């Protein structure tokens, strides 16, 4: 039994964090004066430690995904996909795996309201028998950019102006009219699903392309979908702003209340798969996360169901300190030639090292359930493990030989003439170009809205409410031109609605999550 537990039972008094009991937790030591005041002494250890700890309670806020709801639960395999992957937690109908889930807004700060128009991050940590596997998804199937170097700029343009420290619609649209591959994601953002009513009512999508592998060398490229069994529910702009003013933590509380009442939310998990030999026939670049894979060509295959049934007992310990990274993959899952995925595989654990410290993987909420042995990574701030004792801390040791897993993709399993293999030896400076094809799926989404009662009108209203806050006329004009490429009438409707709002000086009922 831990020492602090024994003392708590033996003595009815507060315990100092060094284990020393105190008579009271609200006293200090001082020299009293005759006037009623006094001089606090440096021997007031309890006071000094209390003040010092209070100044250090906050850790760096996430640069993105700062505000979130979170819970625990499990994933259960319901369908056989053993022809696609050897990943143990995805095989064997009935197999259950513990999960930790964090669903967040992207741009706003930690103290912001939940009911804002924004993408949602949907991070899942599977604590498998083979180690942690993280899926770090979004609630929309596409993203704004496909070149990783643009990722920081995208997020800066969605945050606060460096001069005013307040949101800027000019900055937001200046980025997007000059990086128009974002048009598909903008169609989702300003559509109905851009302002969900709760985190229970959103889907989740990998966006990135992964590899599902087999030990004998075969593999498939996949995208993963989680479809909410609660359905898709959303708020209008006016509903969102009203709730934001009354219950700013509504999404967080909604999830906690649902679980507390036994109404456990769940998601069906599906996968789309493409064989390497079929890449050339694909109508889109399968590694471009601004595009969806047509379901008619690549149908969904069910894998299982995820259910959330446990609220965190301590928010900071379990959710704030949680760290997720796309680089956490178990045998049977590997990265694809998706440049955005590859960049995220570095950026996410690097952000965790900055925010939580180099030993963040050992925090209980992040720790793997399987055995961890990596003596070449040791020491560092806040290492509360045995630090591998006297084991060698370098590679190639014969003093204490180590064994390695032979699970995974065999090297050089296929001729390098394949479309998904590197064929250029020297590195090249590359940047993608925006072409007419980048607007095709956005146009299809606009036409789909036309089949939903009032969806196009709501989209135009949502978009014009944001654009009417742009002060530079030329930025608005370029935005109208961009949406005209989606559909001529769309561009005209957005321009008419926006400029009318400006002329009549209408107050916008609500802006996007970043504004």
- The domain total for the chain is 2
- Alpha-carbon Rg for the chain, nearest whole angstrom, is 26
Question: For position 432, what pLDDT does the model report?
Answer: 83
Residue 480 DSSP one-character state:
H
Q: Tokens representing 1?
A: 């039994």
Is residue 119 in some structural domain? Answer: yes
Residue at a domain's end among 362, 388, 411? 362
Nearest to 300 by CA among 354, 376, 222: 222
Is residue 20 in some structural domain? Answer: yes
- 53 and 189 share one domain: no
Of residues 157 and 429, the one with the higher pLDDT is 157
Nearest to 392 by CA among 372, 375, 378: 375
Question: For position 372, what pLDDT does the model report?
Answer: 87
Residue at a domain's end among 31, 57, 83? 57
- 96 and 138 share one domain: yes
Question: For position 270, what pLDDT does the model report?
Answer: 98
Q: Which of the four pLDDT bands, split at 50, 70 and 90, describes residue 328?
A: very high
| Mean pLDDT, residues 416-438 taken together | 73
Q: Report the DSSP pairing between strands 210-213 and 219-228.
A: antiparallel
- 21 and 142 share one domain: no
CATH number at residue 358: 2.40.180.10
- 29 and 125 share one domain: no
Q: Report the DSSP pairing between strands 219-228 and 266-274.
A: antiparallel
pLDDT > 90: percent of the chain: 77
- Give residue-wise pLDDT tens across range 137-168: 999 999 999 999 999 999 999 999 999 999 99
201 is annotated as an active-site residue = no
Residue corresponding to tokens 């024994």: 6
Question: For position 373, what pLDDT does the model report?
Answer: 84
- 140 and 190 share one domain: yes
Of residues 129 and 11, the one with the higher pLDDT is 129
- Give residue-wise pLDDT tens across range 12-64: 556 666 888 777 888 889 999 988 899 999 999 889 989 999 999 999 999 99
The distance of Cα 373 from the centroid of its chain, to the nearest Å, equals 27
Query: Which of these is catalytic: 133, 138, 237, 462?
Result: 138
The answer to whether 203 and 228 have CB atoms below 8 angstroms apart is yes
Is residue 179 in some structural domain? Answer: no
Which residues carry a binding-site annotation for heme?
348
The Cβ of residue 337 has, within 10 Å, a number of other Cβ atoms equal to 16
Is residue 290 in some structural domain? Answer: yes
- Is residue 471's pLDDT more than 80? yes
Bridge partner list, 108:
none
Is residue 172 in some structural domain? Answer: no
Question: For position 398, what pLDDT does the model report?
Answer: 83
Nearest-angstrom CA–CA distance, 24 and 12: 10
- Give residue-wise pLDDT tens across range 245-266: 999 999 999 999 999 999 999 9
- 108 and 247 share one domain: yes
- 134 and 42 share one domain: no
Cα 252 to Cα 4, 62, 75, 102, 511, distances in angstroms: 33, 17, 21, 10, 21
Please give the backbone phi and psi of residue 221, each rounded to the nearest 5 degrees, phi first: -95, 140
Query: Which of these is catalytic: 65, 158, 176, 225?
Result: 65
- Is residue 427's pLDDT more than 90? no
Residue at a domain's end among 347, 362, 377? 362
Nearest-angstrom CA–CA distance, 4 and 13: 11
- 203 and 282 share one domain: yes
pLDDT > 70: percent of the chain: 90
| Mean pLDDT, residues 360-385 taken together | 89
Mean predicted lDDT score pLDDT of the chain: 91
- Give residue-wise pLDDT tens across range 260-290: 999 999 999 999 999 999 999 999 999 999 9
Nearest-angstrom CA–CA distance, 157 and 472: 15
- 44 and 135 share one domain: no
Is residue 94 in some structural domain? Answer: yes
| Mean pLDDT, residues 482-490 taken together | 98
- 18 and 135 share one domain: no
- 106 and 225 share one domain: yes
Question: For position 12, what pLDDT does the model report?
Answer: 58
- Is residue 6's pLDDT more than 60? no
Q: Which residue range forms the structural domain that includes residue 28?
A: 14-57
Of residues 422 and 115, the one with the higher pLDDT is 115
Is residue 294 in some structural domain? Answer: yes
- Is residue 214's pLDDT more than 50? yes
- Give residue-wise pLDDT tens across range 374-412: 888 888 888 888 888 888 888 888 888 888 776 655 554
Is residue 333 in some structural domain? Answer: yes
- Give residue-wise pLDDT tens across range 61-94: 999 999 999 999 999 999 999 999 999 999 999 9
65 is annotated as an active-site residue = yes
Question: For position 384, what pLDDT does the model report?
Answer: 86
- 50 and 77 share one domain: no
- Give residue-wise pLDDT tens across range 490-515: 999 999 999 999 988 755 554 544 44
């Amino acid at each position: 039994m831990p020492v602090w537990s024994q003392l708590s039972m033996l003595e009815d008094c507060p315990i100092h964090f060094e284990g020393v009991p105190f008579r009271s937790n609200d006293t200090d030591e001082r020299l009293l004066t005759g006037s009623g005041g006094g001089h606090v002494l440096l021997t007031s250890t309890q006071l000094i430690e209390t003040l010092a700890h209070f100044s250090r309670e906050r850790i760096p806020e996430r640069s993105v995904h700062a505000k979130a709801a979170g819970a625990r639960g499990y994933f259960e395999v319901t369908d056989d996909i053993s022809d696609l992957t050897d990943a143990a937690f995805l095989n064997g109908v009935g197999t259950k795996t513990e999960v930790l889930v964090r669903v967040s807004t992207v741009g706003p700060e930690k103290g912001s309201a939940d009911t804002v128009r924004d993408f949602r991050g949907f991070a899942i940590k599977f604590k498998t028998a083979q180690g942690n596997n993280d899926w770090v998804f979004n609630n929309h199937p596409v993203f704004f950019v496909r070149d990783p170097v643009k990722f920081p700029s995208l997020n800066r343009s969605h945050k606060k102006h460096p001069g005013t420290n307040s949101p800027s619609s000019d900055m937001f649209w200046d980025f997007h009219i000059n990086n128009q591959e974002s048009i598909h994601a903008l169609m989702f953002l300003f559509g109905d699903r851009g302002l969900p009513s709760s985190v229970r009512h959103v889907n989740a999508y990998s966006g990135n392309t992964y590899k599902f592998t087999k030990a004998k060398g075969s593999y498939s490229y996949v995208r993963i979908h989680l479809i909410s069994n609660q359905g898709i529910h959303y708020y209008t702009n006016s509903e969102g702003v009203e709730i934001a003013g009354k219950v700013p933590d509504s999404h967080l509380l909604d999830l906690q209340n649902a679980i507390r009442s036994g109404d456990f939310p769940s998601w069906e998990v599906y996968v789309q798969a493409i064989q390497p030999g079929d890449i050339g026939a694909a109508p889109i670049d399968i590694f471009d996360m601004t595009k969806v894979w047509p379901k008619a060509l690549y149908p969904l295959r069910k894998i299982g169901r995820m259910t959330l049934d446990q609220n965190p007992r301590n928010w900071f310990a379990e959710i704030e300190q949680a760290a997720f990274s796309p680089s956490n993959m178990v045998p049977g899952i590997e990265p694809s030639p998706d440049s955005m995925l590859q960049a995220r595989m570095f950026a996410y654990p690097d952000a965790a090292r900055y925010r939580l410290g180099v030993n963040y993987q050992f925090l209980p909420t992040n720790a793997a359930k399987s055995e961890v042995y990596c003596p070449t990574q040791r020491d560092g701030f806040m290492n509360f493990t045995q630090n591998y004792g006297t084991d060698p801390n370098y590679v190639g040791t014969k003093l204490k030989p180590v064994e390695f897993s032979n699970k995974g993709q065999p090297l050089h399993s296929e001729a390098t003439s394949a479309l998904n293999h590197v064929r250029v030896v020297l590195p090249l400076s590359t940047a993608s170009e925006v072409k007419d094809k980048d607007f095709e799926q956005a146009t299809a989404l606009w036409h789909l809205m036309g089949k939903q009662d009032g969806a196009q009108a709501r989209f135009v209203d949502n978009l014009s409410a944001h654009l009417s806050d742009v002060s530079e006329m030329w930025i608005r004009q370029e935005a109208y031109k961009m949406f005209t490429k989606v559909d001529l009438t769309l561009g005209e409707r957005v321009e008419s609605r926006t400029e009318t709002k400006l002329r009549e000086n209408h107050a916008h009922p609500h802006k996007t999550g970043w504004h």
